[in-house]
Amino acid sequence: MTSILILNGPNLNLLGTRQPEVYGTTTLTDIENLCTAHANKHNIELKFFQSNHEGALIDAIHDARGTHDGIVLNAGAYTHTSVALMDAISSAALPVIELHLSNIHAREEFRHKSFIAPVAVGQICGFGAHGYELAIDALVRHLG
């Protein structure tokens, strides 16, 4: 069975109360439930992991090798700073869909730069929590 890791980075554990005007009121648990319901339709398996720590996210990417078929990654602010995460994705050689709740291109200029984009299959942003379902669909289709 196809297995996808849904990996969330820093501050995403605070979704629901964190800047609701930007990120909405959906919590990370709500998103996980949404993803699980969606995955059941596709008959695929999901694993969820969130960390505020760059190294833990890198370890999760490494550990995904041989365990999962691909990753949906919302790297939060590390998107805009982390060469180490970019290298981890290249090293793991697993397909990654980059995901953001907000439209990072319509926000501050520092959010326009993504270190994930060059090593991702593609990027989905600006669709809020629904973006996770879109990302799962994109990854399933990519995996064929």
Out of 26, 50, 51, 74, name the contact with ligand DQA by CB under 6 A.
74
23 is catalytic: yes
Pick between residue 77 and residue 117 the one whose CB is nearest to ligand DQA.
77
Stretch that binds ligand DQA, among 28-36, 48-56, 65-73, 74-82 (CB under 6 A): 74-82
Q: Is 130 in the site for ligand DQA (CB under 6 A)?
A: no
32 backbone dihedrals φ, ψ, rounded to 5°: -65, -40
- Cα–Cα distance between 2 and 139 in angstroms, integer? 10
Active-site entry in 38, 68, 78, 100: 100
Name the token pair of 62. Answer: 């490494």
According to the binding rule CB under 6 A, does residue 76 interact with ligand DQA? yes
Q: Least distance to ligand DQA from the beta carbon of 43, Å?
A: 27
Find the part of the chain contacting ligand DQA (CB under 6 A) among 32-40, 48-56, 57-65, 100-108: 100-108
Taking Cα atoms as reference points, which of 57, 67, 44 lies closest to residue 8? Answer: 57
- Which stretches of 9-134 are assigned E, i.e. beta strand? 45-50, 70-74, 96-100, 122-125
- Tell me how far apart the alpha carbons of residues 142 and 113 are, in angstroms, rounded to a whole number: 24
How many helices (H) and strands (E) are present in the chain, helices listed first?
Answer: 5, 5
Q: Please indicate whether residue 80 is annotated as part of the active site.
A: no
Amino acid code (one letter) for 17:
T
Residue ranges binding ligand DQA (CB under 6 A) = 11, 74, 76-77, 79, 100-102, 104, 111
